[in-house]
Amino acid sequence: MAEGIGGKVKGGSNPLYSRSLLSIKELDRPKIDLILREAEAMHKIFETGRKLSLLKDKAMATLFYEPSTRTKLTFQRAMIALGGDEIGDPSMDTSSAAKGENLADTARVVSSFSDVIVLRHYDNGAAEIASRFSAVPVINAGNGSGEHPTQALLDLLTIKNEKRRIEGMKVAIVGDLRYGRAVHSLAYTLGMFDNDLVFIAPEELQLPKEICDYLELNGRNVERTGSLDNALDADVVYIPRIQKERFMDPKEYNRFLGMYRIDRNFMKRANPEIIVMSHGPRLDEISPEIDDLNNMVFFKQVKYGVAVRMAVLNMILGKRMLSK
């Protein structure tokens, strides 16, 4: 069984080495600061196009039971940039899972010939199950409507680089806050930093109460509202799509589709220094008419994602950190 992340950062040690990353809640502020420093070092290397050999002879297995472009490909690109190999089916529909193999057996089998498993699954408890039966570390790349820890880390790196700070801001998160696993991880992460947080959604899609309670317990100023106008004075607005696949009733999904939209009209009224973020894919929540604005950093997030995933993979599998 691969262990989760534990302990404190002491004397420059690596708290991720040989451990799984299942939830952002496994990380405290010092661990996140360390990951971001490593990701910034990786980003500089990646921008030069230079390939590293830090993970030479290491193999990453990708098990994606749900569709993905950004997460899967950036993990693959990260492993290649570190000198390692990637193995995995283009779709789990062509794997033994289609024949009825359970996740525990898949984890046992795949971990016998890989060094790390990157898992995306439609079930909230999947990452924990896989880590229980895997002989190698497991990275949660999205579990149902639960969490998506590396997405939160890349979002934080994006904010840090684009705003030159992580604290002392107003961050507005808009849309599907009930089912959005990336939103859940980001909210927990932002709770470790001193920012004002506004969650904008209809009551049916608002952030789960346990996350709001966590934020308030950590002294964060939290506002819950249904009006997008409350994001006009924000420093960051984060607006993911409404996730059709999480709704049992298509009529309920259609009722919320298109409720919030960032467009030229919003940007004309908004804080001129605001940045617009999302985890994608984009539907109609961000208008293409703002793509040419410097405020739009949605596409920049992808490169930061490669850097963060390089950092996480190297810290879990490698013996040398670039940021030391």
Count helices and strands (H / E) in the chain. Answer: 10, 9
Quickly list H helices, 27-165. 29-48, 70-81, 103-110, 126-133, 149-163
31, 43, 72, 120: the catalytic one is 120
Residue 150 CB-half CA count within 13 A? 33
Task: State which amino acid sits at residue 256.
Answer: F
Name beta bridge partners: 224: 199
Furthest-apart CA pair in the chain: how many Å? 56
Active-site pick, 31, 72, 148, 181: 148
Q: What's the token pair of residue 270?
A: 């908004």
Let me know if 106 is a catalytic residue: no
Q: Active site includes 158?
A: no
State residue 264 phi and psi, 5-degree precision: -60, -40
Q: Which of 62, 71, 150, 158 is catalytic?
A: 71
Cis peptide before 281 (omega within 30 of 0): yes
Do 210 and 145 contact (CB within 8 A), yes or no? Answer: no
The helix-helix angle for 181-190 and 149-163 (nearest 10°) equals: 60
Q: Is residue 148 among the annotated active site residues?
A: yes
Cβ-based neighbour number of residue 86 at 10 Å: 17
User: 239, 180 in Cβ contact below 8 A?
Assistant: no
10 Å CB burial of residue 279 (0-12, 13-18, 19+) is: buried
Task: Give me the count of residues in the chain.
Answer: 324
Residue type, position 129, single letter: I
Catalytic residue among 25, 37, 70, 261: 70
Among residues 8, 10, 50, 99, the one annotated as catalytic is 99
Residues noted as catalytic? 70-71, 99, 120, 148
